[in-house]
Structure 1
Amino acid sequence: MENNTNSDKRSINSLFSKYNRNRRNRPLPVLKTDKDLEAEGLARLSIDLPNFQVTDEADHPLTSSPSTSEIAHAFVSRTEGAPAPAFHRPNLDEHGGFANRHSVGFDVPGAVHTIVTPKLKTERQIDSKLVVVMVGLPARGKSYIVKKLRRYLNWLQYETKVFNVGNLRRVNKASQQLDQSANFFDPDNKDGNKIRDELAIMVLDQLIDWLRTGGRVAIHDATNSTIQRRKLLIDRLQQESDIKVLILESVCTDKTVLERNFRLKLSGPDYKDKDPTKALSDFRHRVANYERAYEPVGDWEEDHDIQYCKLVNVGKKVIAHNISGYLSGQCIFYLMNFNLAERQIFVTRHGESEDNITGRIGGDAPLSAKGRKFSKALARFVKERRIAFALDLARRKIQEEKESKDPLKDSDDEEQATEQEHKEEKKVRATAEAISNSQFTIWTSMLKRSMETAQSFDPDEYDIKHIRFLNEINSGSREGMTYEEIKSQFPTEFQARQDNKLYYRYPGMGGESYIDVIHRLQSMIIELERMNQSCLIVTHRVVLRILLGYLLEWSQTQMPHMLVPIHTVYELRPKPYGVELTSWCYDEEADDFKELKEDSSQE
């Protein structure tokens, strides 16, 4: 073995020696005179260079550092009579450094720290900015998408805000008594087009002002359905430094989804308290007007190297072009992983553990007797809620099918009507059974108290996974202590955590902060958005706060202080307008769960 090693070393040394001999024997280039260059159709180009030092192969200085006025020569090929190409020297400041330093896109709050000088801090905001320009016909799910995107980016601690042009239009309508029926959106209505363009620019200016004050991602929520409108917005944005633009188009070809979206618009601010039939007719007319002038995202954006993403049927098909920048990449990755499936998401802390009784943080203690009782009740409760959800969903599906067809006339025959009801109920039961028997996933952490809480679930019926990402925050060297012990032994540290719970990191090996746990859970959030089946997540206090913070869009300052007691189950149902929440509390005496009506979520 040793002989082989020595042989390898000799072979490598031989190669290096051969390389150096060839390098030394290589002939030096011959410098050509101006006359030689002219004969070959070449021209000499003089270039100003900043201070530099020339060295030989051994890095010995050959000259002293010349000044910026000294000349170096470069050869360029050009035809006779053609102008010499322009050479742009670097933009240097008075110290010889690069004056136009641009921020690097990669930035993870709490995990990446960018070094900036006081000069940069005062002259410009070093953080990169992103403007998402929405595109799409009405009722194509744009507002649904932007709300989800805002929620995700804010959860990752990138301050994000949606600027909706329709809201400003409605305010403008009230103040100026404008007719904003379907005729207002007619492409032949020049006055209407002018007003809508002005409103779009007004909202864009508000958006830019907000970015200047420290915002990171701003979303321009409007139809922006013509090239002329998108060019208007991009021309304005290009006047700003360090702002990237991502065009995001939402396309929907599913007629069932479109019809549902049309009917949802009737409860929106444009048609609220109006006759449903007339309102629906007006909205269909409005959409038809938009369709006449609609220019999909594509060729024009590609010709101008503008990054865009086209979402078809909420992510069933995704087309992306020229995506660059960390924030843009984060947006696209997220948008590729969510769906419209109706489902239940249950989240809860583990049952009471032995350490909960003594008030000790961290550790890997087993469940107490009370915790084991909660575990058994939880399995029964989830099964009951699955059946109730399946029945409700089945009835709504069958009702939608009936509404999509010609409504049946009420039968005068009582016996025939009763028979029809029995048929419908039988169909509901069959549909509900199929829904309740669909896959149901259970996620727990890898700590004993979490895994033991899920032990009463049948692995043949449930897909059970133990996931390290769901472990409780690591308390570092404070693992196993009580909060009172930390307060008495480390008062300064205890106060530091009280002052900034979000960014405070526990000292010692593996100690984490809330921000660290957020980034740890990012892949879990993506998976939660991607999957279309219902699930139960059994985790811990900090992790539960962070998950609920995402699902319910709690603020950065609010989330670390939310009250999430043990033996409380949160049932969430994603909806087009947000998330529907029902909270359930375990009653040990009744050995059952009761719905919580009052809001007691704040510490």
Structure 2
Amino acid sequence: MSVLEGARHSSPSPESPGTPSQTPPPYNGRNSKTKYSNLARAAIMTSASSTPRLEGEHLPNHAGHQHHSSLMPPPTSAFGRISPKSQPHGANSMGRALTDTPLPSAPGSPQISARGSAATSGSATPKLRATTLDIPGLTRSKVSPNGQIAERDVGAKLIIIMVGLPARGKSYIVKKIARYLNWLQHPTRIFNVGDRRRVAAGRGKPIPDRTTEALRESVRRMSSNTGGSSENNADPHLLPPPVIKTDDILVNGEAAKLDVLSPTSPPPTGSPESTENNHEPIQLPAPEPMDQSASFFDPQNTRGKQLREQVAHETLDELLKYVLEDGGSVGILDATNHTQERRLSLIRHIRERDENINVLFLESRCQDKNLLEANMRLKLSGPDYRGKDPIAALRDFQERVEQYEKSYQKLDDFEEDHNMAYCSMIDVGRKMISFQVQGFLSIQTVTYLMNFNLAPRQIWITRHGESTDNVAGKIGGDSSLSPNGVRYAKALERFIGEQWKLWEENQAQKQANTHFPPLPGDTTPPNPEYTAQTLQQRNFCVWTSMLKRSIETSQFFNEDEYDIKQMKMLDELNAGYMEGMTYTEIRHKFHHEYELRKRDKMAYRYPGPGGEGYFDVINRLGKVILEIERMTDHALIIGHRSISRVLLAYFMGLKQEDISDLDVPLGVLYMLEPRPYGVEFKAFRWDPVTDEFRYEPDYRMRRATDPQA
């Protein structure tokens, strides 16, 4: 008899659960006592024994039933085996009777695989989803109608793990990467281990975060149990406790804002602690700050190593939550991660959460002494040494670097043997080494890194002078400048020439007064640049669109002094059918389109031949951004409203919802100078009365007063 018939033969009848079932006629004339093969019996027993049972159910005490209770095959449906969780079970872990009731003929609900698992194909071979490019506003699919990376497409997301000794420009690099990827509309956040470590050790700015409080509590116990001893041998009981998971962490260098309790705060009203105990809250002593000098980073300092390891993994947990659960596309772990052991533990920790997400180790190494010296200057102005004597701070920092160097292991054959993708930047991109860099976001990131540099320079952005279409209130078109626009063009050339000369003089003076080690009162240089290049006068590029009003604004610049170029990428956003119309005309003739744009200006695309939206502008300006980052010269960009908005959004790190409504009026000139921790921003407004540009120290980026613009 078949296995199925044998199981039926010994099953209790559903009508009389207390008595054995009647034996059905043997199938195909086979004897009901036919022995099963060992292989079949083992397979059926394994499946049946793993099936859970319902609490409180009892099966009949029948010898035949008990003898064959493990032989029940799992029931099946049109989609394969029925999940054990969806069927009733007996007390002996056997499914209920296989009755003769036929399975439903109607198709069941489709089964969706859990996130991170491979979708099954028609065969037994699992099918892995393709992870092709996703570009917001330019690609579309069922799982991603707006072009954003879908939550289930984990294989398209990216985790970047920084590697490198202190003063190698890691934080500078990650902030630029985050700014660039966010500008491309791929949600990206930085998770800085050093900031969390300083807070956990009691040396940093307090952060209202439950994870931080747990870490600080562990530091408090370390200090109190050892009596402030600085010995390196740690008792196993002093290991920090498991840390409470939280939803936020240091993001992009800023503390997350949460309403949580401090160690000295009473519990909130209505909490179990407040209802059960009405006594005054116990005032706990503030945690004794852990020493953060060079000895803290000694590889032999077990206590310090414990804290650093715990903070690193808890920060990684926050990053994973952001990428896997909170809609993030890229998470960046900013830390030294200087040993192979640490990097391997991080990658294993990630793979425990998800096997498909891309991981890229990004190393920054410095071999140029001038660059390293400039980086050290910047580090001395950081949170670990702020307000301290420069000479003593430099000595302590150099000792800290020496402690890291004792155990530092660069990215090399070890990562290749373990198939760990990496990219090594040497001297900020002078030399690049990459291995197994795959995935759309990984390639975007490495391409960007190959183009940016640290040279000090100025980037100027302005709209064209007033055009005749501006006077008439029309959008788009290709009109010439008005008389007022011509005056603006002349004043612009004169002012830029003055500012260029002034900047070169200031750089020469700064170079002449540079000291190392720095003296008290010295200011940090604007960038960790090669000091030898500072004395060279830089070229000045003037870029315009290919529209008349932009080209005419550059007409007074001397081509012998300036490098002038027209770029199609800088053209104004194309309004399609609505080119040359006023907003009033659009509201009356295309009322539906007018309302659609008003509802979501960022995602709206004008109808008609050549019609564009802001996502299209971002895409074509990507090449311009890479060129600006690559070159070491000054640049003046004479653009249009949408062009100025998108470029300023990149340099200022603006959010997506702020781009399309940014106020960029005619007659305003913006100056941007790259800095180690951001961009220096200044605004100058042209005064038609005096025909001069006036610096506005209180200028702030804000939304346009006219919602139509």
- Return the TM-score normalized by structure 2: 0.66
Q: Percent identity?
A: 46
What is the SS of the residue equivalent to 1:561? coil
- Aligned mates of 2:290, 2:535 — CA distance in 1: 51
Find the counterpart in structure 2 of residue 520 from structure 1.
Answer: 620
Find the counterpart in structure 1 of residue 335 from structure 2.
Answer: 222
- Aligned mates of 1:93, 1:287 — CA distance in 2: 51
- Aligned mates of 1:155, 1:253 — CA distance in 2: 31
Tell me if structure 1 keeps the 8 A contact 2:461–2:670: yes
Structure 1 residue 125, shift from structure 2 partner: 4.6
What is the SS of the residue equivalent to 1:339? coil
What is the SS of the residue equivalent to 2:699? coil
- Aligned mates of 2:162, 2:618 — CA distance in 1: 27
The correspondence for 1:201, drawn from 304, 308, 313, is: 313
Question: CA offsets per residue over residues 223-249 of structure 1, 9 Å max, x none?
Answer: 000000000100011121431000000
1:501 pairs with 2:601: yes
Find the counterpart in structure 1 of residue 174 from structure 2.
Answer: 146
Distance 1:392 1:451, change over 3 A: same
Find the counterpart in structure 1 of residue 295 from structure 2.
Answer: 183
Distance 1:467 1:97, change over 3 A: farther
Please give the residue correspondences for 1:78-89 in structure 2 after superposition, counting only pairs within 5 Å. Answer: none
Distance 1:307 1:523, change over 3 A: same
Distance 1:216 1:266, change over 3 A: same
Please give the residue correspondences for 1:48-63 in structure 2 after superposition, counting only pairs within 5 Å. Answer: none
The correspondence for 1:111, drawn from 138, 143, 161, is: 138
Question: CA offsets per residue over residues 109-129 of structure 1, 9 Å max, x none?
Answer: 1111233399xx999356721
CA RMSD of aligned residues (A): 2.6
The correspondence for 1:340, drawn from 451, 454, 460, is: 454
What is the SS of the residue equivalent to 2:372? helix
Distance 1:91 1:514, change over 3 A: closer
Structure 1 residue 103, shift from structure 2 partner: 4.1
- Aligned mates of 2:433, 2:598 — CA distance in 1: 46
Q: Which moved more, 1:176-185 or 1:122-131?
A: 122-131
Find the counterpart in structure 2 of residue 570 from structure 1.
Answer: 670
The correspondence for 1:462, drawn from 562, 579, 601, is: 562
Distance 1:506 1:127, change over 3 A: farther
Structure 1 residue 97, shift from structure 2 partner: 8.9
Count of aligned positions: 489
What is the SS of the residue equivalent to 2:577? helix
Distance 1:312 1:434, change over 3 A: closer
Instruction: Please tell me the residue identity of whatever aligns with 1:579.
Output: V
Structure 1 residue 399, shift from structure 2 partner: 1.5
Find the counterpart in structure 2 of residue 44 from structure 1.
Answer: none
1:260 pairs with 2:374: yes
Question: CA offsets per residue over residues 22-81 of structure 1, 9 Å max, x none?
Answer: xxxxxxxxxxxxxxxxxxxxxxxxxxxxxxxxxxxxxxxxxxxxx999xxxxxxxxxxxx
Question: CA offsets per residue over residues 364-411 of structure 1, 9 Å max, x none?
Answer: 0000000000001111000000011001111111112xx24999xxxx
Find the counterpart in structure 1 of residue 590 from structure 2.
Answer: 490
- Aligned mates of 1:117, 1:526 — CA distance in 2: 27
Distance 1:179 1:452, change over 3 A: same
The correspondence for 2:680, drawn from 580, 586, 601, is: 580
Question: CA offsets per residue over residues 228-277 of structure 1, 9 Å max, x none?
Answer: 00001000111214310000000011222222222222221112222333
Tell me if structure 2 keeps the 8 A contact 1:348–1:537: yes
1:596 pairs with 2:696: yes
More helix by share: 1
Instruction: Please tell me the residue identity of whatever aligns with 1:466.
Output: Q
Tell me if structure 1 keeps the 8 A contact 2:478–2:548: yes
- Aligned mates of 1:346, 1:139 — CA distance in 2: 30
- Aligned mates of 1:348, 1:450 — CA distance in 2: 10
Find the counterpart in structure 2 of residue 46 from structure 1.
Answer: none
Tell me if structure 2 keeps the 8 A contact 1:391–1:432: no
1:311 pairs with 2:422: no
Please give the residue correspondences for 1:550-565 in structure 2 after superposition, counting only pairs within 5 Å. Answer: 550-565=650-665
- Aligned mates of 2:667, 2:683 — CA distance in 1: 11
Please give the residue correspondences for 1:2-17 in structure 2 after superposition, counting only pairs within 5 Å. Answer: none
- Aligned mates of 1:369, 1:569 — CA distance in 2: 19
Find the counterpart in structure 2 of residue 160 from structure 1.
Answer: 188
Find the counterpart in structure 1 of residue 500 from structure 2.
Answer: 386
Tell me if structure 2 keeps the 8 A contact 1:247–1:308: yes
Find the counterpart in structure 1 of residue 572 from structure 2.
Answer: 472
What is the SS of the residue equivalent to 1:557? helix
Distance 1:433 1:513, change over 3 A: closer
Find the counterpart in structure 2 of residue 275 from structure 1.
Answer: 389
Tell me if structure 2 keeps the 8 A contact 1:450–1:538: yes
Question: CA offsets per residue over residues 300-344 of structure 1, 9 Å max, x none?
Answer: 111111111000111111111111111110011000001111111
- Aligned mates of 2:417, 2:589 — CA distance in 1: 65
Distance 1:369 1:304, change over 3 A: same
Tell me if structure 1 keeps the 8 A contact 2:508–2:535: no
- Aligned mates of 1:406, 1:393 — CA distance in 2: 17
Distance 1:94 1:563, change over 3 A: closer
Tell me if structure 1 keeps the 8 A contact 2:186–2:329: yes
Distance 1:291 1:513, change over 3 A: same
Distance 1:520 1:585, change over 3 A: same
- Aligned mates of 1:379, 1:397 — CA distance in 2: 28
What is the SS of the residue equivalent to 1:554? coil
Distance 1:455 1:492, change over 3 A: same
Tell me if structure 2 keeps the 8 A contact 1:141–1:250: yes
Distance 1:97 1:489, change over 3 A: farther
Tell me if structure 1 keeps the 8 A contact 2:296–2:304: yes
Distance 1:297 1:126, change over 3 A: closer
Tell me if structure 1 keeps the 8 A contact 2:160–2:331: yes
Tell me if structure 2 keeps the 8 A contact 1:134–1:249: yes
Tell me if structure 2 keeps the 8 A contact 1:162–1:220: yes
What is the SS of the residue equivalent to 1:391? helix
- Aligned mates of 2:518, 2:302 — CA distance in 1: 40
Distance 1:192 1:365, change over 3 A: same
- Aligned mates of 1:161, 1:190 — CA distance in 2: 31
Tell me if structure 1 keeps the 8 A contact 2:390–2:518: no
- Aligned mates of 1:122, 1:406 — CA distance in 2: 50
1:243 pairs with 2:343: no
- Aligned mates of 1:361, 1:258 — CA distance in 2: 50
Tell me if structure 2 keeps the 8 A contact 1:149–1:331: yes
1:367 pairs with 2:467: no
Distance 1:97 1:517, change over 3 A: farther
- Aligned mates of 1:288, 1:432 — CA distance in 2: 29
**Structure 2 runs not aligned, ≥5 long:** 1-77, 81-116, 203-215, 220-288, 520-531, 705-709
Structure 1 residue 514, shift from structure 2 partner: 0.2
Distance 1:128 1:357, change over 3 A: same
- Aligned mates of 1:117, 1:578 — CA distance in 2: 32
Q: Which moved more, 1:94-103 or 1:490-499?
A: 94-103
Tell me if structure 1 keeps the 8 A contact 2:143–2:150: no
1:350 pairs with 2:464: yes
Find the counterpart in structure 2 of residue 16 from structure 1.
Answer: none
Instruction: Please tell me the residue identity of whatever aligns with 2:169.
Output: G
Question: CA offsets per residue over residues 452-497 of structure 1, 9 Å max, x none?
Answer: 0000001111110011110000000010111122123323322221
